[in-house]
A and B are shown apart, each in its own frame.
Chain A
Amino acid sequence: MLTHSLAVLIVIAVVFAVAKKLRLNTELCLLLGAVSAVIAHVILPMGEDPRSVLTFAEVIRHLVEGTFTYFDVCMTFLTATFFMTLYKETGGVSYLVRTIVKRFYDHRVVCLLLLMVVMMVPGAVTGSGATTVLTVGGLVGAVLTAMGVEEDKRVALIFILAAMSAACPPINLWAMMAAAGANMPYTGFTWPLLILSGLGALFATFYLAGKGERKGTVDEVLATLPEAPAGWNLLKAFVPFVVMVVLILGARIFPAWWPTFGLPMIFMLCGFTTLLVSPKKVNVLDIAMTTVTNLKELVGIMMVVGVLNQIMTLTGARGLLSLAVVILPIWLLFAALWLILPVTEGVLQYAVAPLFGVPLIMLFNMLGYNPIIALSCWAVMWPVGDCLPPTAVVGRATVLELDYKGEYYKGFVKKALVPMLFILAICTLAMIFNKPFGNFLGV
C-alpha cells in the first residue's frame, strides 16, 4: 500500500507539472491531477490487504462530492466579498480611506496603523486574504503610493497584511478546520492568533512602509484618490459594520434566543444595509458577477483542492503525507515546520489544515504540549505560504489588484521575505515555548 499511495502522489505531481507546461491554469492542473490519481488508483496494485471494489459510478461520486468539501467556505468568501465589493462600488471604501488620509496623513505612524486596521478587518471577518486584497487592497495601495512607499515594498506589504488578516481572529479557517477535525472546540484561540498575527502585521507595516518620501500635500494626495459619492458620512460608513458586529455579538450575548444566521447570511444582510445607506445605487447582479469573476481563482482552487483532497484520501496519498510528517522527530518538526507549512499551503491551500493540522494536533497532545498555542502558531504560518506556487492565490490576487508590473519572485516576494521570516520565527518560538506562552495567556 505504501508503494501504491506513493505512486499516486507521483502521478499527481507529474500530471500537474505536465499540465502546467501545457499552460493550463492551476485549477485545471490540480483537477487533472485528481482525475489521473483516481485512474492510477484503479489501475495500480493496492497492496497485500483485501480491498473493496471501486465502481465507475463511485469514482464519479467521489469527484463530485469533493467539490462540497469547502462549499460553506466558498459561500462565505462569495458573500463576504460581495458585501465588501458593494461597499467599495458604492463609495464606502473611498470615503473611509479619504477620511483617514484627511485626518492622519501628516501623522505617518497613526496613518499607517489605521491603514493596517483597514487591511486587517476584511480578512479577520471572512478568513480570506484574497477578500482583503480585492476589497481594500487597491485603495490602501494608492495611499501607500502617496506616502512614498516604493512599488515592490507596497505590494509586499499588501500581501503580508492580507495574509495576516486571514490569520487574525475571529475567523481563522485553518485553526477552525484543524480543530474541528481533531474534535477540539474552537475556543481559546483569540489571543494567541491576535498576538501573533498582530505582531506580524505591525512588523511588516513599519519595516516596509515606515520610511518614505511623501509625494505631496494632503490635498494633492486626496486628488489622486477616487472621490466618494456625495451623501456619505461617518455614520453611514460605519452602519454596515455595526450590523455585522451586532449580528455576530448577538449570538454570543443571547445564545439561547438568537437565530442562526450563519456567516453567508450575515454578510448578505450587511450588503443589504450598505444598499440602504449608500447614496449611490448599483446593480446587485453586476456586483455579484464582478465578485464571481474576482473570486474565480480562489473559489475554483478551493473546489478543486476539495476534489484533490477527496481523491488523495481515497487512494491513501493523504494518509501517506500525514504519516510522513508525524513520524518526524519532534526537534525536526520544530526546526522544519516553518518551511513545511507555508510550502504545503502553496500546494493545497486550506486543505493543509485537516491534512497536516489534525495529525499534528494529535501528536502534540500526546507529547503533552499545548495544542491551542501550537495550532495558533501553525494557523499564522500557513497563510504566509499564500504567495508560493503552485496556487499562490493571495499573491496573484495582490499582483492583479495593484497592477504590479515587476517580477513576482525577484520583486515583491523578495521584499516580503524579511517580514515573512519574522512571522515564521515568532510562530516557531511560540510553538517551542508553547507551555509558558499558554500559561501566560491562560489557555
Chain B
Amino acid sequence: MSLLVIVNLIITICTYATAAFFLLAIIRVFIKTKNVQDALVYVVIMIPFVLRLLRLK
C-alpha cells in the first residue's frame, strides 16, 4: 500500500473520530437541555452521526 493511501486512511479514521467527538458533544447537550423542543432537534441531529459511525450509511 502506498504512503499516500495509508495517510488518507489515517485521515479517514480521524474524520470518524471527529464525528464521534461531536456525537458525544451532542449527546451531552441533549442530556443537559431542559427545553423539550431543543431535545427533539438534538435527536434528529444525532441520527446521521450514529448511522455513519455504525457504517450503515
Asked if the two chains touch in their complex, CB atoms less than 8 Å apart, one says yes
Q: Is the CB of B11 within 8 A of A262?
A: yes
Output the least CB separation between B12 and chain A (Å). 9
Q: How large is the interface on A (under 10, 10 to 19, 20 to 34, 35 or more residues)?
A: 35 or more
Which residues does chain A contribute within 8 Å of B42, judged by CB atoms? Answer: 292, 296, 300
Q: What are the interface flags for B41-57 relative to A under an 8 Å C-beta threshold, 1 for contact and 0 otherwise?
A: 11011011001100001
Which residues does chain A contribute within 8 Å of B24, judged by CB atoms? Answer: 285, 288
Number of A-B contacts (CB under 8 A): 85
Q: What is the interface of chain B mostly: helix, strand, loop, or mixed?
A: helix
Output the least CB separation between B17 and chain A (Å). 9
Output the least CB separation between B45 and chain A (Å). 6
Tell me the chain A residues, 276-312 only, with Cβ under 8 Å from chain B: 285, 288-289, 291-293, 296-297, 299-300, 303-304, 307
Taken together as a complex, chains A and B put the C-alpha atoms of A137 and B25 apart, in Å, by 24
Residue ID in chain B nearest A262 by CB atoms: B15
Name the contact of A67 in the complex, choosing from B4, B11, B47 (C-beta under 8 A).
Answer: B47
Tell me the chain B residues, 1-55 only, with Cβ under 8 Å from chain A: 4, 7-8, 11, 14-15, 18-19, 21-22, 24-26, 28-29, 32, 37-38, 40-42, 44-45, 47-48, 51-52
Name the contact of B38 in the complex, choosing from A64, A261, A264, A296 (C-beta under 8 A).
Answer: A296
Given the known interface contacts A78-B22, A262-B15, the answer about A67 and B28 at a Cβ–Cβ threshold of 8 Å is: no
Q: Which of A24, A65, A71 has the most CB of B within 10 A?
A: A71
Taken together as a complex, chains A and B put the C-alpha atoms of A74 and B45 apart, in Å, by 9
Name the contact of B52 in the complex, choosing from A71, A262, A292 (C-beta under 8 A).
Answer: A71
Residue ID in chain A nearest B10 by CB atoms: A259
Output the least CB separation between B53 and chain A (Å). 12
Which residues does chain A contribute within 8 Å of B48, judged by CB atoms? Answer: 67-68, 71, 74, 303
Which residues does chain A contribute within 8 Å of B15, judged by CB atoms? Answer: 262, 264-265
Q: Is the CB of A28 within 8 A of B4?
A: no
Q: What is the interface of chain A mostly: helix, strand, loop, or mixed?
A: helix
Name the contact of B25 in the complex, choosing from A65, A67, A291, A300 (C-beta under 8 A).
Answer: A291
Taken together as a complex, chains A and B put the C-alpha atoms of A259 and B10 apart, in Å, by 10
Q: Is the CB of A292 within 8 A of B51?
A: no
Report if A31 contacts B (CB, 8 A). yes
Tell me the chain A residues, 238-278 only, with Cβ under 8 Å from chain B: 257, 259-262, 264-265, 268
Which residues does chain A contribute within 8 Å of B45, judged by CB atoms? Answer: 74, 292, 296, 299-300, 303
Tell me the chain A residues, 88-124 only, with Cβ under 8 Å from chain B: none
Given the known interface contacts A78-B22, A292-B22, the answer about A64 and B37 at a Cβ–Cβ threshold of 8 Å is: no
Given the known interface contacts A25-B37, A75-B18, A296-B45, the answer about A265 and B25 at a Cβ–Cβ threshold of 8 Å is: no
Output the least CB separation between B52 and chain A (Å). 7
Which residues does chain B contribute within 8 Å of A261, judged by CB atoms? Answer: 11
Which residues does chain B contribute within 8 Å of A74, judged by CB atoms? Answer: 45, 48
Which residues does chain B contribute within 8 Å of A299, judged by CB atoms? Answer: 45
Question: What residues of chain B have their CB less than 8 Å away from a CB belonging to chain A?
Answer: 4, 7-8, 11, 14-15, 18-19, 21-22, 24-26, 28-29, 32, 37-38, 40-42, 44-45, 47-48, 51-52, 57
Per CB-CB distance, the 8 closest pairs between chain A and chain B, nearest first, are: A288-B25, A300-B41, A259-B7, A71-B48, A67-B48, A292-B25, A25-B37, A289-B25
8 contacts between A and B (CB under 8 A): A68-B51, A68-B57, A259-B4, A259-B8, A264-B15, A289-B28, A296-B38, A299-B45
